[in-house]
Structure 1
Amino acid sequence: MRTVLVTGLGGAGRTTVAAATALAAARRGERALLLSADRDDPLTPLLGGEEVARLDVVRIDSGADFRTELLALQDRAGTVLELLGAGRLDGEELTELPGAEQLALLKALRETAAGDHDLVVVDMPPVHQSVAALALPGQLRRYLRRLLPPERQAARSLRPVLAQLAGVPMPAQWLYETAARWDAELAAVEAVVEDPSTTVRLVAEPTPTAAAALRTARLGLALHGAAPDAVIANRVLPTGSADPFLAALSGQQQCVLKELAEEFAAVPLHEVPHLGRDPRGTEELDELIDGPTGEIGLWEGKDGFVRPGPWHVEDRLADDGVLVWHLPLPGATRDQLGLVRRGDELLLTVGPFRKIATLPSALRRCTVSGAGLTDGVLRIRFTPDPELWPRTR
């Protein structure tokens, strides 16, 4: 199964591209699933309310998901809440909190991974929100490990004694079990995002600000192990218009398209024509799929683009005995980077994005001895600490 995450700049037509991608897969005979968490439900008018063979459309209800999860947690924590004198909440009075939409989308993404579809197309939020959503599982897992370290469960037989000594109830087993369940679910989401069959498609209108915005977006995606398999230039006007106004707009778009082609040289750039109206119904979506030249490579997902591999440690170098950690950051510049080592973690800042990465076991016994950015790859040098590194005879 392949998963395509469709994101991009706000108002660029992400939902249209996602719907056309899923529709094209269904037209080819694949079983496709189109997944969206948009509150306004743009898919119904976009597809014209039609049922398409081999295409399933699912809209996530993040409010209902939030209420279900919170009520279940409240039931499991019932004893503790009663000890604290807390009043129980009813489902009717619950309104979802910020971030609930992202969590519901990630949960749905994990559940679809166990399905039998050939292609899952996810209509993601704008790119900065998508980067935050992709980073969320790793962040939450880190918080859970810090707040409820799994190794403390080994002392559960001592909790009654500790509770008497401390005079307060100790964390109940259900809390650790809940944390373990959440950790497993978040790990499953991370596995879907990091799977080589999961790719990202960036959608933007070719406006003067598009190249810079997509460049920043690519950095955020790369920082969290994702990379675009294509850039979709949407609503491209025809060239050669006799109208001076349209000719000027088209000329501006062509300049931006050239800039995008240079900026994303390693990523296929596809142009989607402007229909002169917002597409409505499957027939008009078919026009986008075929295009004026009949090219459908945009929707095949087989453009030959290879995602960069995950961050990896290079073998020990014979000349100076250091280890090198490779972090692909295409398009990054030195002035955008910030790097701090704190214990077993590395705090990496790239432009407006930040990631806290746990060092591989080999690097925890080393000190950072330097870093360099070359050809879009950040290489961090680690020198083994003689006090921690195994000695050889």
Structure 2
Amino acid sequence: MRILLFTGKGGVGKSTVAAGTAALAAAAGQRTLVLSTDAAHSLADAFGAPVGSEPTEVAERLFVQQVDAQLRFEQSWAEIQGYLLSVLDVAGVDPVAAEELTVIPGAEEVLALLELRLHALSGEWDVVVVDCAPTAETLRLLALPEALGWYMERVLPTQRRVVKALKPVLTRAAGVPMPGDGLFDAVERLHAELDEVHTLLSGPDASVRLVLTPEAVVLAEARRSYTSLSLFGYRVDGVVANRVFPAEGADDWRAGWVVAQDAVLAEVDQSFAGLPVWRSEYRPAEPVGVEALRTLAAEVYAGADPLAVPEGEGPFRVERTASGAVLHLSLPFVTRTEVGLARNGDELVVTVGSYRRLLTLPAGLARLQVAGARVDEGELRVRFADPAHADATEKVT
């Protein structure tokens, strides 16, 4: 099953491009689902058809679904939220305020992606196109499975044992309800489901497509997104530059825009060298409906296969050497001063700006020491060597 995710800064037209790509895939004979996880759904508007929280057929082999994020939130978070509410109730917190305090910002958008897991397990689809929430919300997903995994492996087992042993004493002493097995099980289920989603999205048949408009601010965010997506192992397979003013027939006002956009588009080509950059011209009317969307996508991809699986090993790989191994992690646009690196047991902690990833090292690397690290041509390279021969250092050079 081919999985394509579209993301970008709010208002750049990612929903339109995602819908058009899905329409083109269905026209090519692929049973296609386009799925919106954005709380501000707009697929129904794009297709000009009523769309609900279950897959709705809008054309032959083309189905659309706008995920009910609130429902997914209630299904996956209800038991955890219920316990938190009981604790806040004992503390005397107002019920309305307590309910707000027990909702993680962005959780609905993240949990909506659990719908993707169900569709992957169903085996009904050849292609799933995901119209993600704007970039900031989408990136919340990236760190969550690994961070939760760290808690599950190191903290939760101990916490469960402590609570079982001390529950009667703690409940009487503090007057606060202690978590039961049901709560721990709910957290474990949530982690397992999110981990499956992460595996799907970072797998060989999945990739992310960035949508932008030719504006300096939008390009800057797209570059940051490319870095963050690579940090967490997500493969970016191309960029769609949307709403490009055509040069022909431009009056003086539009000619000024053409010049300004050309300058930014040159930066786009340079920034994403090695990736296809497709362009979508500004249209005289908004494309609405399956036919209009399919026509737009056909013009954007201009004969290229929009479902082509990206080649290569992805942003994360390990190369074996005579003295040990080298870990390669693609970090586009990053300089060495922006990267923090630390070793904690069998984990490598990589920090880039405000994002941090805990990389659990394969067994073959975990027994080795970090012998050096450097950032070179947009890639972090960490050298590992046998402890008997390594002059261990974790400084990034």
Matching of residue 200 in structure 1 with residue 208 in structure 2: yes
Deviation of the 1:252 alpha carbon: 1.8
Of residues 65, 71, 84, the one that matches 1:64 is 71
- 8 Å CA contact retained: 1:308, 1:328: no
Cα deviation digits, residues 344-377 of structure 1 (max 9, x gap) = 3222122342212222333333332211122332
- Relative to structure 1, the CA distance from residue 167 to residue 52 in structure 2 (aligned partners, 3 Å threshold; closer, same or farther) is closer
* RMSD of aligned residue pairs (Cα, Å): 3.4
Q: Confirm or deny that 1:225 pairs with 2:233.
A: yes
Q: How does 1:69-218 map to 2 (within 5 A)?
A: 69-72=76-79, 97-115=104-122, 116-149=124-157, 172-218=180-226
Task: Please give the residue correspondences for 1:1-393 in structure 2 after superposition, counting only pairs within 5 Å.
Answer: 1-49=1-49, 51-72=58-79, 97-115=104-122, 116-149=124-157, 172-291=180-299, 295-297=302-304, 300-302=306-308, 305-309=310-314, 311-317=316-322, 321-386=323-388
3-state DSSP of counterpart to 1:201: strand
Count of paired positions: 373
- Deviation of 1:10 (Å): 2.1
Relative to structure 1, the CA distance from residue 74 to residue 100 in structure 2 (aligned partners, 3 Å threshold; closer, same or farther) is closer
For the 8 Å contact 2:369–2:386, the answer to whether it is kept is: yes
Q: Deviations over 1:173-229 (max 9, x none)?
A: 434433432332122112111211001000001113343332221110000111211
Amino acid at match of 2:318: V
> Residue 163 of structure 1: CA displacement?
6.2
Code of the residue aligned with 1:206 in structure 2: it is P
Name the CA distance, whole Å, in 2 between partners of 1:242 and 1:175.
Answer: 62
The Cα of 1:336 is off from its aligned counterpart by 1.8
Counterpart residue type for residue 26 of structure 2 = A
| TM-aligned CA distance change 1:183 to 1:296, over 3 Å | same
Contact 1:328 1:376 in 2 (8 A): yes
Q: Is the Cα–Cα contact under 8 Å of residues 34 and 56 in structure 1 kept in the other structure?
A: yes
Question: 1-side partners of 2:155 and 2:66: how far apart?
Answer: 33
- Aligned equivalents of 2:47 and 2:171: distance in 1? 62
Asked whether the 8 Å contact 2:143–2:356 carries over to 1, the reply is no
The percentage of counterpart residues that share the same residue type is: 36
2:38 maps to a residue whose letter is: D
How far apart are 1:330 and its partner, in Å? 2.9
SS at structure 2 position matched to 1:206: coil
Q: CA deviation at 1:164?
A: 7.6
In 1, Cα distance between the equivalents of 2:192 and 2:269?
40
**Deviating 4+ runs (over 6 angstroms):** 84-87, 162-171
C-alpha separation between the residues in 1 aligned to 2:47 and 2:240? 20
Q: What secondary structure sits across from 1:11 in the alignment? A: coil
TM-score by length of 1: 0.82
Please report how far the alpha carbon of residue 73 of structure 1 lies from its aligned counterpart in structure 2 after TM superposition.
5.0
Q: Distance in 2 between matches of 1:331 and 1:259?
A: 13
Aligned CA distance change for structure 1 residues 307 and 60 (closer, same or farther; 3 Å): farther
Does structure 2 retain, via aligned residues, the 8 Å contact 1:272–1:291? yes
Change (3 A) 1:374 1:242: closer
* Residue 306 to residue 38, structure 1, CA distance change in 2 (3 Å): same
Q: Where does structure 1 lack aligned partners over 5 or more consecutive residues?
A: 389-393
Name the SS for the 1:291 alignment partner: helix
Alpha-carbon distance in 1 for matches of 2:353, 2:312: 22
Aligned letter for 2:358?
A: I
- Rounded to whole Å, the distance in 2 between the matches of 1:287 and 1:311 is 36
Larger radius of gyration: 1
Aligned amino acid, residue 317 of structure 2: H
CA contact (8 A) 1:229 1:307 kept: no
| Cα drift, residue 129 of structure 1 | 2.4
Distance 1:159 1:286, change over 3 A: closer
* Amino acid aligned to 1:62: A
Residues 227 and 307 of structure 1 are in contact (CA less than 8 Å); yes or no, is this contact kept in structure 2? no
Amino acid of the structure 1 residue aligned with 2:44: T
Q: Mean Cα displacement is larger for which, 251-260 or 214-223?
A: 251-260
Bigger shift: residues 13-22 or 35-44: 35-44
Shift of 1:145: 2.4
Q: For 2:247 and 2:389, how far apart are their aligned partners in 1?
A: 67
C-alpha distance in structure 2 between counterparts of 1:136 and 1:74, whole Å = 17
| Match in the other structure for 1:391 | none
Query: Does the residue aligned with 1:110 lie in a helix, a strand or coil?
Result: helix
When residues 159 and 245 of structure 1 are mapped into structure 2, their CA distance, relative to the original with a 3 A threshold, is closer
Output the TM-score relative to the length of structure 2: 0.82
**1:310 to partner: Cα distance:** 5.6
Q: 1:296 to 1:136 in 2, by over 3 A?
A: farther
